[in-house]
Structure 1
Amino acid sequence: MIGGHVSGLEHPVTPVLSRRALIRGAVAGGATLMMPFPAFAASDEWRLALRNVHTNESVDAVFVRSGRLVPEGLAELNHGLRDWRTGEMFHMDPQLLSLLVQLREKLDVSGSRKIDLISGYRSPKTNAALRARGGEHTGVANQSQHMLGKASDIMIPGVSLERLRGAAMALGGGGVGYYPRDGFVHVDTGRVRHW
C-alpha cells in the first residue's frame, strides 16, 4: 500500500516494484514532476553516477534538465539507491540527489566518475535488523533519514574521507556523519548537524 503505515511506523511505505514498472509509473506521473526545481537554473542538466559497492550495479542518469525534474532519470536513481538487501525502492528526495551533485562539484570530481554507494534507501525491516545486530551504538538511528529516502552513505574513490566530510559540512545541506573505520561519510537532507 502506498502512503500507508506498517507496524505503527510513521512513514510512507513503497511497495517492491520492478525497474520497468517504476519507470512506467514515473513517466505516467511526469506531469507532476515537470514543475521547475528551484535548486537548478533553467539551463542546467544535472547528472548523477553511482555504483553500489554491495551489488556492483551502476546507474548514471540525468535527473534535472532545463530546471525541471526528469521522471525517467529519477526512476533510474530510485532503482540504484534501493535497499539492496530487500530490493525495496523508494522515491528518493530530489534534494539529496542535488546535494550529491553539489558535493561532487565542490570536490572538483568529474560528473562521469561514479560515487560509491554503501547505503541509500533503507527499509524499516533492514533498519531494524541493523539496529538489532549492532545495538544502540552502531550509528543506526531508530527513525533514520535513510528510511525517508533522504540519506546516503558514500565514498568517492581517490577522495579522502576527511576531505569528503569537510566538503559536505561546508555545503550545509543537512546531516553529515563521519565513519572512517567503516570507510564512508553519511549525508542527508535532514536538519543541519554533524557527528
Structure 2
Amino acid sequence: MNDPKLENLSVANPLSRRHFLKGLACGSLMVIGPPKIVHAALSSFTTHKTLSLEHHHTGDSLKVTYYEHGHYIGDALEEVSYFLRDYHNDQVHSVDAGLLDQLHDVKLLLGAKKPFHIVSGYRSPGTNANLRRHSRGVAKHSLHMEGRAVDIRMEGVSAKTIRNAALTLNKGGVGYYPSENFVHLDTGELRTWHS
C-alpha cells in the first residue's frame, strides 16, 4: 500500500471524503449509465451549489453559493446577474438559474477547483446587433440576450475537455470554439456545434 496514487486519495476530513465518494459515484455512473442518469446523480448529491467566476473583460471575480438546502438564493442570483452584465454598457438582466446549474455540473464533472473565466454573459440587444455586424458567429436571436447563455474557458483545462463534460450532461446548447479557446453553454434546445 505504498502506491503514491493511493496515498493521494487518503481522506483527511469528512468533507473531503464526501467529495471523493461523490466523485467516485458520478464517475461510475458515467461509465455505466446514460447522461441523464449522470445529471440526476450530480443534482441529487448536492445540498449547496457554489461557483467561482472571473470575468475576462472586467477583471471582476466572484465566488458565490447560489443554491442551498433545496432553494435558490435570491440575493446570490442577483449578484451573479450583475457579474454577468453586458460589460459594454453595464445593462443587467436576470440569469437563468438552470444555466448556473449547468456550470455547476460541468465543474463537478471536471473536478475543477479553478474558476470559470467568463468571455461573454448577458448581451443587450444593441450589443448583440453590433457584434453581429462584425462576426458571423453571433446569432440574431442569441440566448445571451435572455440571460440563458454564457461563453466560458478555464485555466489549464482545454476547451475540448470542457465541451466533452458539457455534452455528457445532455442538456441545452453546447458550442465549441477551439480557435478562440472557449465553450458556449445555454439552456435552449439540446444541440451542439463548433466553429
Q: TM-score when scaled to structure 1?
A: 0.75
Is 1:123 the counterpart of 2:124? The answer is: yes
Higher helix fraction: Structure 1 or Structure 2? 2
1:91-136 deviations in whole A, cap 9, x for unaligned?
Answer: 10000000000001001112xx2100000111100000000122xx
Supply the distance in 1 between the matched residues of 2:155 and 2:45 (Cα, whole angstroms). 31
Q: Which moved more, 1:41-50 or 1:77-86?
A: 41-50
Is 1:181 the counterpart of 2:179? The answer is: yes
1:65-100 deviations in whole A, cap 9, x for unaligned?
Answer: 101010111111111111111101111000000000
| SS of aligned partner of 1:105 | helix
Task: Decide whether aligned partners of structure 1 residues 148 and 114 sit closer, same or farther in structure 2, where only a CA change above 3 A counts.
Answer: same
Equivalent positions of 1:44-55 (< 5 A) are 44-55=47-58
Fraction of identical pairs, as percent: 39
Matched residue, 1:59: 62
Matched residue, 1:133: 134
Task: Decide whether aligned partners of structure 1 residues 43 and 140 sit closer, same or farther in structure 2, where only a CA change above 3 A counts.
Answer: closer
Tell me how large the CA RMSD over aligned residues is: 1.7
| SS of aligned partner of 1:170 | helix
1:42–1:67 contact (8 Å) kept in structure 2: no
Structure 2 gaps, min length 5: 1-39
1:50–1:114 contact (8 Å) kept in structure 2: yes
Flag the structure with larger Rg: 2
Matched residue, 1:68: 71
Matched residue, 1:192: 190
Q: TM-score when scaled to structure 2?
A: 0.75
Give runs of ≥4 in structure 1 deviating > 2 Å: 38-43
